[in-house]
């Protein structure tokens, strides 16, 4: 889930080249220099001390309720209940439509009761958000990027984008964003994990998020609310008593592996007939984020990126037909999470895709506001930039692209919130077309 947003965040939080004049760039640099800055290591330490329940934390009882507000029949519904005494004594109960698990950890002994044979990624990520909100934090140590602090700092990020041989390594790519003066954790993202944190409230000596947000592949919000958070005073040891230890071969574990590893395990790949396209490359590759069950069958697939974005939905559906040999860890089969590379080859259709702008936008979009004039003071007067959104034949947002060099804080304040937008199919001669929308913004 949320692979589209992973790509979007990676795009707009990066500053590739400046569209400003040298004088304008100097003004922006002076603004940045005027903010309070701390080393990224200090930001990570302070954020974990402040925002993590389990980092130097006290015993607690928490209940997280998950739903997709826009879809009452969504599969993304469930709950996470955690009773935690310390890192070696805790109980986690997860529920959803297709999978339930109660896991008790007592030292090195584990009891696990499962209903269902596949632990889905989206549910596991909400457990991670409670138990370890920054699972990759150690990999950000000694980064040179400082973190800005202040009441008006809505987002300041540190990232990894390791590129051996000029190619981004999905095993290392990640980003953590902070906000405010503490700082608070705003979001964490890597290939396997995304979560936004908000609605912070006091709990003991900490500030803990009460709202946790992920997104579906269609960019719809999946929201978890912390409906209960209380101190677990004098924990009843029976909570963590393991009466029927579960041997490792009967537990459900998940491991992330590289492309080279999954290629060596590939057992069956479908023959794919790709649809015609109207723009982009007719031959290339895409990466699909997939998870297998313990037999090696792909059970979940999410868009990640593609040389031709219009083919991602087709690739995602075809990925569900891939079969791998079981991934063995210490001789025991586990679920596999991995970037699957799919090669595509197709042909060009008859016409270019339409690109709507100006007054045409209101005919296909509702639920959100587009104001082409930016709030004053964000950019030098007269500066313009464009955000292009792509929408498929069913009226689903499939991606966005941003002008290079626009600071993330500017994009965050342009007033256009895609997750609130609804789009209608664009019809030509009564037939729906894939189309673009060009949002042009100008600084007053």
pLDDT at res. 13: 38
pLDDT at res. 221: 92
pLDDT at res. 32: 46
Are the CB atoms for 344 and 311 separated by under 8 Å?
A: yes
pLDDT at res. 3: 43
Q: Cβ atoms within 10 A of the Cβ of 294, count?
A: 21
For tokens 């934090």, name the residue: 137
**Nearest to residue 252, comparing CAs of 103, 122, 130, 127?**
103
From 227-241, 308-322, 407-421, the region with the lowest mean pLDDT: 407-421
pLDDT, tens digit (0-9, with 9 covering 90-100), for 222-240: 999 999 999 998 888 889 9
Segment 54-79 shows an average pLDDT of: 95
Res. 10: pLDDT tops 70: no
pLDDT at res. 12: 38
Burial of 197: CB neighbours in 10 Å, binned 0-12, 13-18, 19+: buried
Out of 3.30.1150, 1.25.40, 2.60.40, 1.10.10, the CATH code matching 253-345 is: 3.30.1150
Segment 34-38 shows an average pLDDT of: 72
Cα–Cα–Cα angle for 382, 383, 388, rounded to 5 degrees? 130
Query: How high does pLDDT run on average in the chain?
Result: 87
Rounded to whole angstroms, the maximal C-alpha distance in the chain is 71
Cα–Cα dist 200/339, whole Å: 33
| Residue-by-residue DSSP string for 91-148 | EEEEEESS-EEEEEEETTEEEEEEESS---HHHHHHHHHHH-S-TTGGGGTT-S--EE
Q: How confident is the model at residue 169 (pLDDT cuts 50, 70, 90)?
A: low
CATH 1.10.287 fits 3-19+33-240, yes or no: no
Cα–Cα dist 172/160, whole Å: 7
Question: Which is more confidently placed, 249 or 278?
Answer: 249
Q: Percentage of the chain with pLDDT > 70? A: 90
Cα–Cα dist 251/248, whole Å: 5
Q: How confident is the model at residue 34 (pLDDT cuts 50, 70, 90)?
A: very low
Cα–Cα dist 121/436, whole Å: 31
Cα–Cα dist 130/126, whole Å: 7
Burial of 238: CB neighbours in 10 Å, binned 0-12, 13-18, 19+: exposed
Cα–Cα dist 400/411, whole Å: 12
pLDDT at res. 256: 93
Cα torsion for 434, 194, 207, 229, to the nearest 10°?
100
Q: Cβ atoms within 10 A of the Cβ of 442, count?
A: 13
- pTM beyond 0.85: the answer is no
Are the CB atoms for 389 and 402 separated by under 8 Å?
A: no
pLDDT, tens digit (0-9, with 9 covering 90-100), for 103-148: 999 999 999 999 999 999 999 999 999 999 999 888 888 777 888 8
pLDDT at res. 1: 59
pLDDT at res. 19: 44
Res. 440: pLDDT tops 70: yes
Query: Pairing relation of β-strands 435-442 and 384-391?
Result: antiparallel
State the DSSP H helix or E strand holding residue 231, giving kind and residue range, or none if neither.
strand 221-231
Cα–Cα dist 403/15, whole Å: 10
Q: How confident is the model at residue 429 (pLDDT cuts 50, 70, 90)?
A: confident
Q: How confident is the model at residue 101 (pLDDT cuts 50, 70, 90)?
A: very high
Q: Cβ atoms within 10 A of the Cβ of 315, count?
A: 23
- Domain map (residue ranges) of the chain: 3-19+33-240, 253-345, 355-442
Burial readout 148-183 (b: 16 or more C-beta within 10 A, e: otherwise): bbeeebebbbbbbeeeeeeeeebbebbbbbbbbebb
pLDDT, tens digit (0-9, with 9 covering 90-100), for 362-402: 999 998 999 999 999 889 999 999 999 999 888 888 878 88
């Amino acid at each position: 889930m949320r692979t589209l947003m992973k790509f979007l965040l990676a795009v707009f939080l990066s500053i590739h080249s400046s569209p400003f004049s040298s004088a304008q760039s100097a003004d922006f640099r002076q603004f940045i220099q005027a903010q309070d800055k701390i080393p990224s290591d200090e930001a990570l330490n302070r954020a974990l001390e402040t925002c993590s329940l389990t980092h130097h934390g006290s015993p607690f009882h928490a209940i997280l309720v998950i739903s997709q507000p826009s879809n009452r029949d969504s599969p993304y519904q469930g709950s996470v209940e955690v009773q935690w005494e310390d890192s070696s004594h805790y109980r986690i109960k997860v529920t959803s439509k297709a999978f339930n698990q109660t896991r008790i950890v007592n030292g090195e002994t584990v009891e696990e009761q499962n209903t269902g044979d596949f632990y889905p990624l989206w549910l596991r990520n909400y457990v991670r958000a409670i138990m370890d909100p920054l699972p990759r934090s150690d990999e950000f140590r000694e980064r040179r990027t400082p973190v800005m602090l202040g009441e008006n700092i809505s987002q300041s990020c540190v990232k990894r984008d390791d590129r051996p041989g000029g190619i981004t390594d999905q095993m290392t790519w990640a980003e953590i964003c902070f906000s405010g003066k503490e700082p608070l954790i705003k979001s964490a993202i890597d290939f396997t994990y995304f979560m936004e944190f908000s609605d912070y409230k006091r709990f003991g000596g900490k500030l803990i998020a009460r709202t946790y947000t992920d997104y579906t592949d269609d960019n719809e919000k999946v929201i978890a609310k912390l409906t209960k958070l209380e101190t677990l005073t004098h924990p009843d040891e029976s909570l963590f008593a393991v009466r029927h230890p579960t041997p490792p071969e009967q537990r459900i574990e998940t491991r992330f592996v590289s492309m080279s590893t999954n290629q060596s395990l590939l057992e069956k790949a479908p023959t794919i007939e790709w649809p015609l396209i109207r723009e982009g490359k007719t031959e290339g590759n895409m990466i699909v984020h997939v998870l297998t069950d313990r037999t090696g069958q792909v059970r979940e697939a999410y868009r990640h990126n593609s040389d031709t974005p219009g083919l991602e939905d087709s690739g995602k559906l075809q990925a569900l037909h891939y079969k791998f040999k079981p991934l063995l860890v210490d001789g025991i089969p586990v679920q596999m999470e991995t970037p699957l590379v799919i090669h595509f080859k197709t042909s060009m259709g008859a016409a270019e895709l339409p690109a709507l702008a100006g007054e045409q936008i209101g005919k296909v979009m509702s639920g959100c506001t587009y104001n082409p004039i930016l709030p004053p003071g964000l950019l030098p007067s007269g500066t313009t930039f464009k955000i292009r959104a792509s929408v498929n034949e069913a009226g689903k947002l499939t991606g966005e692209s941003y002008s290079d060099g626009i600071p993330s804080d500017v994009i965050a304040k342009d007033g256009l919130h895609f997750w609130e937008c609804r789009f209608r199919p664009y019809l030509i001669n009564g037939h729906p077309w894939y189309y673009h929308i060009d949002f042009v913004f100008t600084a007053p």
